[in-house]
Structures are given as C-alpha cells and as structure tokens.
Amino acid sequence: MSGENVKHLSDAEFDEYVLKGDLPSLVDFWAPWCGPCKAIGPVIEELAGVYEGKVQITKMNVDDNPTTPGKYGIRAIPTLILFKNGEIVDQVTGAVGKTQLTAMLDKAL
C-alpha cells in the first residue's frame, strides 16, 4: 500500500476537505513519533481503499498542524474523528482494531 487513497491534511485545508467536503471524512490525528499511530497506519491505508468514493480517509500530523487538533480538544494520539456534513459523528482514541473502525465508518454511510 502506497497510501495514495489517504489525504494528508494541513490546518489550512481542513475546512475545505473535511467540513465542506461532499463525502464523510475520517481524520486520523497522528504524529511520526507515536508508536500506536504507526501501528494503525496500515489499517487506515487498507480502509481508505475499501471505502474509496464513500468515505474520505485523511491524516493530520498534530506536530505540523496544531490549530485543528486544539480546536477539537485532541489530547492523546492517535485520535480518529469521523465527520459528516461538518459535524462529528464518532470519535475514538488509541490504536483500535479494523473491526471497530469499520463499524465506525459504516455509521457515516
């Protein structure tokens, strides 16, 4: 998996892609130094392929983009937030499994 299905967002792009986007969006708030973030990375990549065209899968590096995580009260990573029509549908923190993420994504469909 080369990750072509996962969009890496900046603070500047967040509103346009996530809050105003046509598709529901899963945002993975992560950092390169975070072990659990790296652990769920391959699952995120896989789900991006499975849900392509149905849910937009994105990642945001909290070190490079502090504004958006601050706005949403991100205190631990990885935190994954599912947005639909600009609203939070669901949120999980920690290295959760594929089954839990799939159930979460299905809520937005």
pLDDT band at 4 (very low <50, low <70, confident <90, very high): confident
> Each residue of 38-57: pLDDT tens digit?
999 999 999 999 999 999 99
Active site residues: 34, 37
Q: What's the mean per-residue pLDDT of the chain?
A: 94
pLDDT band at 3 (very low <50, low <70, confident <90, very high): low
What is the average pLDDT across 58-73?
97
Is a pLDDT exceeding 60 seen at residue 63? yes
Domains of the chain: 6-106 (3.40.30.10)
20: tokens are 């105003």
- CA distance linking residue 53 with residue 15, whole number of Å: 19
Q: From the CB of residue 99, how many other CB atoms can be counted at a distance below 10 Å?
A: 9
By the 10 Å C-beta count (0-12 exposed, 13-18 middle, 19+ buried), 32 is classed as: exposed
Which helix (H) or strand (E) is 80 found in, with range? strand 79-84
- CA distance linking residue 36 with residue 64, whole number of Å: 18
> Each residue of 5-35: pLDDT tens digit?
899 999 999 999 999 999 999 999 999 999 9
